[in-house]
Structure 1
């Protein structure tokens, strides 16, 4: 048998990370803390698998999020216009520090708490619509709709714009490989939409997050023209528009998959399902444990070392793409005993599903709150909830980037 060359092995690992992510990651993690693989963009990348290394790298300033620190030809991620790309996922300090400080002033725990009632009402309304039929695809009619409606409420997207808004988000997050032009058209449309919405919120502010962000920008002083920064204290127009776009990315897809993954985990475990129906704290624990055990984001956003960095005894060259595996870290037996077991009573402190350090997800409290309420409303409404297809027929999205089901047919 001919030996497998490094490039072929990297491609094989990438394929396995899609078809059997947890099994592949477990084998890689025990073999070595760092591996050379083919990344989601088809270019070479370094995959980090062990909890201690991933946690350290997430907070290490030598690992940059700024794409300008990538070596030429080593990264080819999806390109966005400046009005959508100038967000926290592409920033390092001091810009990241400045922008996050301003966003925190608008994205407060109080605002999340105020959404509890509306989230419950939205969930009830969505289930009212499907209950008479006795069955539904839970991802299409419930888990996939609830977060988007909440985002529209959060940002103050007018009712008349929401159908178009949903179509743009679908085109971006679930692209049609046979019609790639739809994604590009959605980017153009969302850029135009958010630019206009920001101006509308400035002229007619309301009680929503985007109005607060506009107010924060104006309170900090006007910035320069054409999206340029002014005095360095406030948000540029591109940063403000990009933040609105980031709320969509951070608040929609992970919440959809967190709800779907948790429902499936509970349906697979009837005893656990009975427990959480009568224990509100248990339901919150289930959401948090599923986030560790099978969370929606297997990888942190790519990073680029600003100098040669040693990780787990492997030297990663400056400017090459580094992928930090949150899924592998969260099932590392060095940190979590019996990590492949779903255990609501375990010590989950230190899990990395929502990141760590200065890039910890700002939307994490909102995502957890939405998932818990969505599950509580669903389980209280349908006592006999069960899968509507054989378990073996369920399929996962073919993605290394996100972990979620394609559909989740249920009946009651």
Structure 2
């Protein structure tokens, strides 16, 4: 149960000269920690948790009533909305979340504004949670069985070394937050087998994506390693940078930044799954090893070709990493500008490596190149992914107000 103002003693008075805590960043960090501890098996479920929690916060903060202390109401509303959403979706973290809520409320003066704000946050969390019931983004719905089609030129097949089952095939059937339907931005077909674009794609990934490539530089290998894992957790830091550096902006706008970012990411993942399973384009490892069946005498098979990194078990076109990057860049560029002061990032798949960025576009470009240097995507799949993510991001920006009504 959420802590209420009446159930606790008044918090300590602020120390003179002490910087006031940033409630938005505080609950951003709490959301990061909660999702990391939850260990959800599907990335889109994590994005859903973010989207629900911060959409509820945005709705609660934007509906500040007249006649109350605006700051106290809004901070309590944001904390109450994110807290209620997270304890509902990640109940194993209730103790930690209750403690975080107490810390926030202890800073807010007791009174009607705090009480009404907290109640508004809880109310909006319940409303958003109810609206997303049965949306098909739970792990069981996302990971539905999928039988690959019969082998053929260009057709996706299970990939070595373990030939594991297809993943995320059910995401394409989920209910988006804002898209009219999952196939609203379905990509056109990938480059035709034997076309100049197809040949160039295959030649590039064959040369620089092979496990023991002599053409790939150490820096390129480092980039491939840096972006190897799920790219969404890596975007926690850029989004946090944008949030922290917007401290002078209204709290409603800051909550909306986080909510809009993750609503776009959920819908992008749905759209990505739709295009992947609509086109079922084979992965580079299959294309290179089976080049003798693609109808192009200019491509020669290499039965022993192995990518730098193990190929994920879903089709090539488009790249999921780059669709997420395209959506992220679109949202961040529109809301906070294309460039920012230098910020650093680290990655769990590249221990000891710290990279510095000054624009969101740098992250996108690294995602594009990394998947080629890993040997797991073609450049066409990566570039198409950026375009798809950007279109979903732009649509989210244009229609986000529909979720606030």
TM-score by length of 2: 0.25
Between structure 1 and structure 2, the one with the greater Rg is 2
Q: Which has the higher contact order (CA 8 A, sep 6+)?
A: 1
